[in-house]
Structure 1
């Protein structure tokens, strides 16, 4: 009974370990595939525009993003290798336990076979039964012989199953060792590519630093433009909030004391709730693209000591790419500055903003569904960069789009 209990415990433990290992391996592989796809997209975006058209700064930004993603890939691949090492170690321990268990089982089985053979040779089984003093004793002897044969057969089946399990585990070790070696070779290639890209990046940075004054002036100009955009968005959102509160008051509806929140109709509340329920699952504001600058603080690629802050996310896209609505909503504002348009889409008390558009497919007052094209994304003649700036607000509060958009 003790041996049977140990067998059951070992089997369940083994199955649990294998399932946990498999889930972790699958998760790492999915992450690795996503990073490989992102690197492929970045390379395609960099290749779509000729080197003559792209500015050196644009090349540095694209290369910097590629290096960051490749570093993540290197880290994930190392995690996969470490997991395989751990799995190999665990499997080797399991194999040792199974071998010890199999040795005990085979010993017990051999002893039972010997006893069975001795009993068979010493006296005829029929005579053993007929020699019983009572009918009940004869019945018990028959039952004992039946149970013994069944137990013998069961032990043989257990031994066969354990032998197959050992064979499968040994084959698994061979496969895992091959996978490990393949990942090690791929990691060598990743590090080689990283080194090559870092050298190229340093060459471009050196070229930029020759015109340090011009570069720093552009950084200052970009910051001023970002500040102007933030101020404009806050002003327009506050205007929209004031309009909603004024309309609600005119309709006799009680509004909250805070002047920074929308007064929502029941329909708008439902839209806002649906929007909130889709946090982390909203579609991308473009069909193809990669995040070139994420939300929050980030270091300048040329002068890492210069820390800048992004109120939204910048998405690098192919030339001619279209911005699209992340959720159904109403176009409440459109502003145009220096030939570039910004579109504001309202979903209850959530505002999504699509900046840097040059050809629009919507107008103020339109109520549009998710995936509806909003406008073509502007391509700079000077830098060759095609980039959407996307921002998200709840009332006047900035939100991190990366937490709301699926796998951003």
Structure 2
């Protein structure tokens, strides 16, 4: 059975398509890494800015450790991302160097062939030689073929000249691209060295602080337990209030089944609102204009005493003094909570979803108010003793809490 080998043209086309796909993939990955690198650099700027603003304030050892841990994590991520970028550029540089070497070899062969053609053209340049070449044919058909050959030879000569011109231009473009890539790589390596110095400094300070803390670890552990108990008390009270709101809503709708005790009975309008809220998952705006997350969602070991755990039903966001709090989506103020020894909390309902904004100094809304996305609903409380301005933000579907980082844009 005969086997057909793929033609040279098809092989070239497939190679071009694979190369184009490779270039597009490399470019997209590079853009993604650069965007991530800029985000991390911006977060470090925010951390440094807030540190500078609160420099004169006496922070607790627990807060300082959290600050160091967060900045170390961000710096570490920045180094990793920058290294990935440098490695990707290095692959591009190696590819371009191979391409330059290949093009130079191609040009050498092309120029050699072109030189041979020019010599032959010169030798047969006079008109008499051409006419004699045609007249020496045995018949008209052979003379016609010789005429066609002469035309094809001239066309090929021109095409060869154009190919050399194009390849030379391509070589020059790749050389320029290579120079840019090498300069970018050089800058990334220089930046990474500076970040590495900063990381080492942060780790040194962190280690010194931890050594000091471990001398009185039992005292700090007691403080941690006390803070967690207070957080659990607030969460339990919020959970009770949410259940009351659900029961009230379901009673009004005539829905008294056991299954409805953890979820709201929704009107047609509320179902649309809930669907819109879900469709914006991952795209919701931050509840403050500027800030960064100092404590993530979920159960996690405490940074000072690993035998203790932090249970976080939301996230803590460090922001600047006087920061306004914004509703992350359209909804209705379900409650403004005021508990003993706790700063005000605003709870907003978005169909069967709830968002909670804790640790406010001022509240600009009241229960029953309709709010819109990014509407100012209050101001974050600033602790006068340490200068910290921390917003606690949580999100739940009925009584089941969810990770805000999955809902808020680039959190």
Same fold (TM over 0.5): yes
1:266 maps to 2:271? no
- 1:59/1:313 CA distance change after superposition, 3 Å: same
- Aligned CA distance change for structure 1 residues 268 and 351 (closer, same or farther; 3 Å): same
Pairing 1:261-300 to 2, within 5 Å after superposition: 261-300=263-302
Specify whether residues 6 and 156 from structure 1 end up closer, same or farther in structure 2 by C-alpha distance, changes over 3 A only: farther
Residues 138-217 of structure 1: pairs in structure 2 closer than 5 A:
140-217=145-222
- On the 8 A contact 1:285/1:325 being kept in 2, the answer is yes
Q: Following superposition of structure 1 onto structure 2, how do residues 117-132 of structure 1 map, counting pairs within 5 Å?
A: 117-120=122-125, 123-126=128-131, 128-129=133-134
Which residue in the other structure is 1:103 paired with? 108
Contact 1:345 1:353 in 2 (8 A): yes
Match of 1:316 in 2: 318
Q: Which moved more, 1:307-316 or 1:254-263?
A: 254-263
TM superposition shift of 1:210: 4.0
**Segment of structure 1 superposing worse, 6-15 or 158-167:** 6-15
Q: Deviations over 1:252-311 (max 9, x none)?
A: xx9895432211111111111110000110000001111001112333232344332311
Aligned in 2, Cα 1:255/1:122: closer, same or farther, shift over 3 Å?
farther
Alignment of structure 1 residues 6-405 onto 2, 5 Å: 11-120=16-125, 123-126=128-131, 128-129=133-134, 140-249=145-254, 257-337=259-339, 338-405=341-408
Q: Which string of whole-angstrom CA distances, capped at 9 and with x for unpartnered residues, describes residues 147-168 of structure 1?
A: 3322221221111111222222
**2:54–2:386 CA contact under 8 A, matched in 1:** no
The answer on whether the counterparts of 1:248 and 1:255 sit within 8 Å (CA) in structure 2 is no
Q: Distance in 1 between matches of 2:170 and 2:44?
A: 40
TM norm structure 2: 0.89
Task: Identify the range of structure 1 (82-91 vs 364-373) with the bigger mean alpha-carbon deviation.
Answer: 82-91
CA distance in 2, matches of 1:233, 1:102: 75
TM-score for the superposition, normalised by structure 1: 0.90
For 1:256 and 1:150, locate their aligned partners in 2 and report how far apart those are by CA, in whole Å. 87
Q: 1:248 to 1:137 in 2, by over 3 A?
A: farther
Change (3 A) 1:90 1:305: farther
2:287 match: secondary structure: coil
Post-superposition Cα deviations, 1:177-199, rounded to whole Å, max 9, x if no partner, equal 22222222222211111111111
Decide whether the 8 Å contact of 1:14 with 1:94 is kept in 2: no
Change beyond 3 A, Cα 1:302–1:339: closer
- Number of residues paired by the alignment? 405
Question: Offset at 1:17?
Answer: 3.2
**Which string of whole-angstrom CA distances, capped at 9 and with x for unpartnered residues, describes residues 186-219 of structure 1?**
2221111111111112222333334433321221
Cα offset, 1:319, TM superposition: 1.5
| Equivalent-residue separation in structure 2 for 1:297 and 1:160 (angstroms) | 65
Question: Secondary structure of 2:157's match?
Answer: helix
Q: Is residue 249–residue 255 contact of structure 1 (8 Å, CA) maintained in 2?
A: no
CA distance in 2, matches of 1:85, 1:311: 43
Query: Structure 2: how far apart are the matches of 1:174 and 1:3?
Result: 33
Q: Which moved more, 1:123-132 or 1:230-239?
A: 123-132
Q: Which moved more, 1:395-404 or 1:236-245?
A: 236-245
8 A Cα contact 2:342 2:359, kept in partner: no
Distance 1:188 1:215, change over 3 A: same
Farther-moved stretch of structure 1 (41-50 vs 202-211): 202-211
Q: Which moved more, 1:266-275 or 1:392-401?
A: 392-401
- Counterparts of 2:235 and 2:119, CA distance in 1: 89
Q: CA deviation at 1:55?
A: 2.7
CA–CA separation in structure 2 for the residues paired with 1:349 and 1:101:
67
8 Å Cα contact 2:294/2:317 also seen in 1: yes
User: Any gaps of 5 or more consecutive residues in structure 1?
Assistant: none
269-278 vs 176-185, greater mean Cα deviation:
176-185
